[in-house]
């Protein structure tokens, strides 16, 4: 059985085609710069890696090109689209309503349209992706896997903000949490590597990429996470500020004479690693600049590591202990120095890093010393595989 997974962003569209008999990826790729000039498709079918440069004005053109490429004589991996059983969509925000994976129907699309305000950058391209697949693959099941779903187990005391309660009642302002499919996968793989049931473990899952979040996973359930009402709260990210004193908002609006939309832009697109370093939002660029002595780049790295360290301490506290700390996503999987700098500050928790084992990039591995009371791990995340598995599960129900 073959399942296509689609992750549709505002100007990008990622996909993976799985053979679910063995969970092999038959083809994967990414459309970049949709609706902008110089758009292209990166396509990999396990034999060839190619870049198809083409005018891709919108997502419908992208999905058409994807179907043509999957069926093409030279690079294709399918004889007919009938071989695909279903399409699994990554949906960023399920609000309070959607606590699990759903079969997408008109009612769900209507509900999604009502939640656009909660993630205005993400939900419209998600809906567009669904509608296009419904149109181009009309007889295939469309399944929605929500980024927020894994966090529905977070208790009230952790998800309610100390604002007037009527705002929660009226506008549903609360912590939702994101990267749920990733944290779920990381927790399960951590348990597998430690050879223990996830239901018996306290895991701190650190998804450190361009977007970054940490989750406390107790007995297999998310009980606290660093992103909140939107993906702005929590850690220092590529261009997002993460936590700061909210009183700075009215102060800055006045002092800098900013419009609300301009400040929104500052917090989401001009802050974080980019804002502090003044160099780039990309961690590798910042590491290079720091190595050359650029002080703000050095400071940005310190802020990033320090915030992760602080959250790990907090999440060990809320779980009343911790068995494992796992690093994932672009920075977590690849930056040896980030893991080292953070873990070396966590000796009090019972973590001892093995510096040799830590010399790993993008591979599943336990990186703590054999006698370390609390284990540290690297697990490359695989959100697409979780989406494909959940899609299969709902089809089999
Ligand atoms: P992601 O959003 O998961 O794709 O992660 C992107 C981030 O990972 C960017 O900031 C990259 O600079 C960072 N990254 C990727 N590879 C490395 C590496 N080898 N060392 C440090 N950071 C990396």
Structure tokens at 390: 């959940």
State whether 254 and 371 are in the same domain. yes
State whether 307 and 240 are in the same domain. yes
Residue 310 covered by a domain: yes
Structure tokens at 314: 């907090």
Alpha carbon distance 86, 63 (integer Å): 15
pLDDT at 349: 97
pLDDT at 36: 85
State whether 54 and 122 are in the same domain. yes
Residue 209 is labelled as binding a ligand: yes
State whether 223 and 367 are in the same domain. yes
In this predicted model, what pLDDT tens digit does every residue of 255-290 receive, in sequence order?
999 999 999 999 999 999 999 999 999 999 999 999
State whether 132 and 217 are in the same domain. no
Best probe residue, ligand 1, of 208, 334, 383 (max atoms within 8 Å of C-beta): 334
Residue 384 covered by a domain: no
Which domain range does residue 141 map to?
Answer: 2-146
State whether 268 and 139 are in the same domain. no
Distance between Cα 260 and ligand 1 center (Å) = 30
Residue 186 covered by a domain: no
In this predicted model, what pLDDT tens digit does every residue of 304-351 receive, in sequence order?
999 999 999 999 999 999 999 999 999 999 999 999 999 999 999 999
State whether 216 and 95 are in the same domain. no
pLDDT band at 119; cut points 50, 70, 90: confident
Question: Which ligand 1 atom is at minimum distance from the Cα of 273?
Answer: 10
Question: Which ligand 1 atom is at minimum distance from the Cα of 287?
Answer: 21
Q: Which of 146, 162, 185 is the last residue of a domain?
A: 146
In this predicted model, what pLDDT tens digit does every residue of 10-60 receive, in sequence order?
788 999 999 999 999 999 999 988 888 889 999 999 998 999 999 999 889
Q: Annotated catalytic, 147?
A: yes
Query: Stretch 113-125: mean pLDDT, rounded?
Result: 84
pLDDT band at 202; cut points 50, 70, 90: very high
State whether 266 and 119 are in the same domain. no
Distance between Cα 347 and ligand 1 center (Å) = 26
Residue 130 covered by a domain: yes
Residue 207 is labelled as binding a ligand: yes
In this predicted model, what pLDDT tens digit does every residue of 139-187 receive, in sequence order?
999 999 999 999 999 999 999 999 999 999 999 999 999 999 999 999 9
Helices (H) and strands (E) in the chain, counts: 14, 14
Question: Which ligand 1 atom is at minimum distance from the Cα of 207?
Answer: 3
Structure tokens at 182: 């990733």
**pTM value?**
0.92
- The number of CA neighbours under 13 Å toward the Cβ of 393 is 11
pLDDT at 308: 98
From the list 147, 264, 285, 354, the catalytic residue is 147
Alpha carbon distance 72, 75 (integer Å): 6
State whether 109 and 14 are in the same domain. yes
CATH number at 37 reads: 3.30.420.40
Residue 281 covered by a domain: yes
Is residue 365 within 8 Å of 192, Cβ to Cβ?
no
Query: Stretch 52-79: mean pLDDT, rounded?
Result: 93
197 phi, psi to nearest 5 deg? -65, 140
Residue 302 covered by a domain: yes
pLDDT band at 362; cut points 50, 70, 90: very high
pLDDT at 140: 94
Q: Which of 128, 146, 164 is the last residue of a domain?
A: 146
State whether 208 and 344 are in the same domain. yes
Query: Percentage of residues in the chain with pLDDT exceeding 70?
Result: 100
Which residue has tokens 């360290």? 309
pLDDT at 377: 98
Residue 332 is labelled as binding a ligand: yes
State whether 360 and 222 are in the same domain. yes
Best probe residue, ligand 1, of 283, 288, 291, 341 (max atoms within 8 Å of C-beta): 283
Residue 177 covered by a domain: no
Q: Does residue 121 have a pLDDT over 80? A: no
Domains of the chain: total? 2
Distance between Cα 262 and ligand 1 center (Å) = 27
State whether 326 and 213 are in the same domain. yes
Indicate which residue's Cα is closest to atom 20 of ligand 1. Answer: 335
Strand pairing class (13-19; 2-8): antiparallel
Residue 24 is labelled as binding a ligand: no
Query: Stretch 245-262: mean pLDDT, rounded?
Result: 97
Mean model confidence pLDDT for the chain: 95
Residue 174 covered by a domain: no
Alpha carbon distance 31, 73 (integer Å): 20
Q: Does residue 220 have a pLDDT over 80? A: yes
For the four alpha carbons of 108, 113, 115 and 120, in that order, the dihedral sign comes to positive
């Amino acid at each position: 059985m073959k399942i296509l997974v689609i992750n549709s962003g505002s100007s990008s569209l990622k996909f993976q085609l799985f053979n679910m008999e063995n969970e092999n990826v038959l083809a994967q790729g990414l459309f970049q710069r949709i609706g902008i000039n110089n758009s292209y498709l990166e396509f990999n079918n396990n034999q060839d890696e190619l870049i198809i440069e083409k005018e891709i004005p919108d997502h419908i053109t992208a999905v058409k090109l994807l179907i043509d490429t999957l069926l093409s004589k030279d690079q294709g991996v399918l004889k007919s689209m009938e071989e695909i059983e279903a399409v699994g969509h990554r949906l960023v925000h399920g609000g309070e309503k959607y606590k699990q994976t759903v079969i997408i129907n008109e009612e769900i699309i209507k509900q999604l349209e009502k939640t656009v305000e909660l993630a205005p950058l993400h939900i419209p391209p998600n809906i567009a992706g669904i509608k296009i697949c419904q149109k181009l693959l009309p007889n295939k099941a469309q399944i929605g896997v929500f980024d927020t779903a894994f966090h529905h187990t977070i208790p009230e005391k952790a998800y309610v903000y100390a604002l007037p309660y009527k705002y929660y009642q009226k506008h549903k302002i609360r912590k939702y949490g994101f990267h749920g499919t990733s944290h779920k996968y990381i927790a399960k793989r951590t348990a597998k590597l430690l050879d223990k049931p996830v239901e018996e473990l306290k895991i701190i899952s650190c998804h450190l990429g361009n977007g970054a979040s940490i989750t406390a996973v107790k007995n297999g359930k998310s009980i606290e996470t660093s992103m909140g009402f939107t993906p702005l709260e929590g850690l220092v990210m590529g261009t997002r500020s993460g936590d700061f004193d909210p009183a700075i908002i009215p102060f800055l609006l006045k002092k800098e004479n900013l419009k609300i939309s301009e400040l929104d832009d500052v917090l989401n697109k001009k802050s974080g690693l980019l804002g502090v370093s003044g160099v780039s939002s990309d961690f590798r660029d910042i590491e290079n600049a720091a190595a050359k002595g650029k002080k703000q780049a050095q400071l940005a790295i310190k802020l990033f590591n320090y915030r992760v360290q602080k959250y790990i301490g907090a999440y060990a506290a809320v779980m009343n202990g911790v068995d494992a700390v796992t690093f994932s996503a672009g920075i977590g999987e690849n930056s040896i120095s980030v893991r080292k700098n953070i873990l070396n500050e966590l000796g009090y928790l019972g973590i001892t890093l093995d510096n040799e084992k830590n010399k790993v990039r993008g591979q599943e591995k336990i990186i703590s010393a054999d006698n370390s009371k609390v284990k540290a791990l690297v697990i490359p995340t695989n959100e697409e595989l979780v989406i494909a598995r959940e899609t299969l599960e709902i089809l089999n129900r």
